[in-house]
């Protein structure tokens, strides 16, 4: 583990001595309402040596809103495999790095997993702050059982899509999916083919934003709604599991 006293951020007790270590912070950012950001997230971002952002233009607006001025570099799914070693090396040299995505918690259907894994392998401390994510509000507000659930994220767009749906055909837990507005109608149609038209579902869009909407009912009713009303915004589909016999 790389520890230096000049970085008073995270204290680790080791052999009765106090060390201060560099840290990788995984920082959730608002998925809609900017007031959803936590005071701790703002403090971490304002003190980080470097902020890794999925899209520096999007994150730049967030940081500007809160008057945070820290160095920022792009870190996204197209460059993370090529750049992760460089950022881990900076962590080992004593820097504190915060990683953020465009919205929500990094690593949940967004970049973040790879750098967290490699930082841990390199002996660097990793801390994920609690904060905004779309799946939990959608699940809790669905009215469907949330004591046990499985998060599926985005289904494969083409190869493996039908296979994955068939694997979930007998899933008894509540299922949570992310979907784009361009595929919602297609996805609901496929769900009806696999799970049946009467399976209960909650389709939420624009969570924590002005036009937040949750459509609850059967898959057939949800499909009818979004066939008649153009889907807009980011979607979370919460699907009831196979009923217990």
Distance set, CA 235 to CA 12, 83, 130, 205, 224 (Å): 41, 30, 22, 4, 16
pLDDT at 113: 94
φ and ψ of 7, to 5 deg: -115, 85
Percentage, residues of the chain above pLDDT 70: 91
pLDDT at 20: 46
Model-level pTM? 0.87
Question: Which residues lie across from 24 on neighbouring strands?
Answer: 97, 126
Tell me the two tokens of residue 183: 């595929």
| All residues at 6 or more sequence positions from 96 whose CB lies less than 8 Å from its CB, including other chains | 7, 9, 22, 23, 24, 25, 47, 48, 49, 50
**Residue pLDDT, tens place only, 175-209:** 999 999 999 999 999 999 999 999 999 999 999 99
Distance set, CA 243 to CA 64, 139, 151, 157 (Å): 48, 18, 18, 27
**Across 139-151, average pLDDT:** 97
CA-nearest of 147, 80, 91 to 120 is 91
**Residue pLDDT, tens place only, 2-40:** 454 343 344 343 333 334 468 999 999 999 999 999 999
């Amino acid at each position: 583990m790389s520890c230096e006293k000049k970085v008073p951020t995270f204290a680790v007790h080791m052999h009765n001595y106090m060390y201060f270590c560099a840290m990788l912070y995984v920082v959730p950012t608002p998925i809609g309402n900017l007031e959803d950001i936590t005071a701790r997230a703002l403090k971490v971002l304002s003190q980080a040596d470097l902020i890794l952002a999925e899209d520096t233009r999007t994150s730049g607006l967030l940081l500007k809103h809160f008057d945070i001025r820290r160095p920022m570099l792009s870190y996204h799914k197209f460059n993370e495999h090529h750049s992760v070693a460089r950022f881990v090396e900076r962590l080992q040299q004593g820097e504190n790095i915060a990683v953020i995505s465009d919205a929500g918690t990094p690593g949940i259907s967004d970049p973040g997993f790879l750098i967290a894994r490699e930082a841990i392998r390199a002996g660097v401390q990793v801390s994920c702050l609690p904060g905004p994510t779309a799946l939990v509000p959608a699940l809790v507000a669905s009215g469907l059982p949330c004591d046990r659930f499985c998060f599926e994220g985005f289904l494969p767009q083409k190869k493996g899509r039908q296979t994955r749906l068939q694997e979930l055909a007998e899933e008894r837990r509540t299922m949570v999916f992310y979907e784009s507005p361009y595929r919602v109608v297609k996805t609901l149609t496929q769900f009806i083919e696999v799970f049946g038209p009467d399976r209960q579902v909650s389709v939420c869009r624009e969570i924590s934003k002005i036009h937040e909407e949750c459509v609850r009912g059967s898959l057939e009713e949800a499909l009818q709604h979004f066939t008649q009303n153009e889907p807009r915004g980011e979607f979370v589909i919460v699907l009831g599991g196979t009923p217990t016999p």
